[in-house]
Structure 1
């Protein structure tokens, strides 16, 4: 990851949706990425490989409605740092939510599907987000709109057992060995992928910068 001066500009190209061909399987990896780190990259790499995706789009949000923005770095800085980290031929970084005008995942997914109806989207998230997923606005709408891949994170392996999503959609869970089929399934459909674990966290990285 390259250092950022804080004076970066948001490249207009990053406000656009990445190019993809009809029928491509696209993983949407949304988040504040404040900052993006090796744990995020491991989640993206795991999803790319195990779900047999054509691309992973890192969707850097202007601000998570459920998080305190006091320590939120400027969007331009976060996009630049995320782009430096996600240096992979099948990964793209954008800040298209600025154009969409909504910070809520449910609305973002609806608009993405409307804009790119010929693509097969999968929502990607780390398992550390699963316990609070039911607090997201219209969380059931998300599950009903797009398949979801939940990637293991340290301390979150057992989160699937008690999370409201897991309980409410127990019958729609796709076996881990069948994860490569997820992008082609009609929602609701979700899977939990065990993977190597990386203890790096955005909170920990921010705390290290506090004198």
Structure 2
């Protein structure tokens, strides 16, 4: 017997695609257009921060310290947004996060190269808001702005499927690999477009996030067997 129920779009795969495309796009853009800094991949920034500090390049170290601080701030602010607006009826609190992200990326596109540090700070802040707000899709924990955790989970589930032959584990593994593929496509888009179109191309990522904002007005129908 099949029945349908409505689920909040914030956990749908449709939304995951748009957010993940935007996540990959932002990382490629920040690296290619904003001084080879990763807006999303803070592990890389920590490594480069440590390297520059060890070499005594303190001015260069700031380029990696500021995005890290912004990421921490983004997570902190998101928790406040959740606390203050979780019962708000006109908008889901995650929609507020998405519209803030969109505005931040629109601002980034207006900043010249002389303000690359500020651009990276704004992107890291936006990334932190996204990764802290959208943690699972179709009930499966998943990140839309980085791949390392998804790769680990995908491979773990694949191995467990081969051991147990549990089809649910196979489904979850394919879910993770699909998200990784979408991230790679977003990164490829961001790399090609940023090289050929310049600083304002980040507005493409802003557009993807805005589509996500609009999608969240929709309820997704899920089939349950």
Q: TM-score, normalised by structure 2?
A: 0.25
**Greater relative contact order (Cα 8 A, min sep 6): structure 1 or 2?**
2
Larger Rg: 2
The answer to which structure has the higher helix fraction is 2
Q: TM-score, normalised by structure 1?
A: 0.26
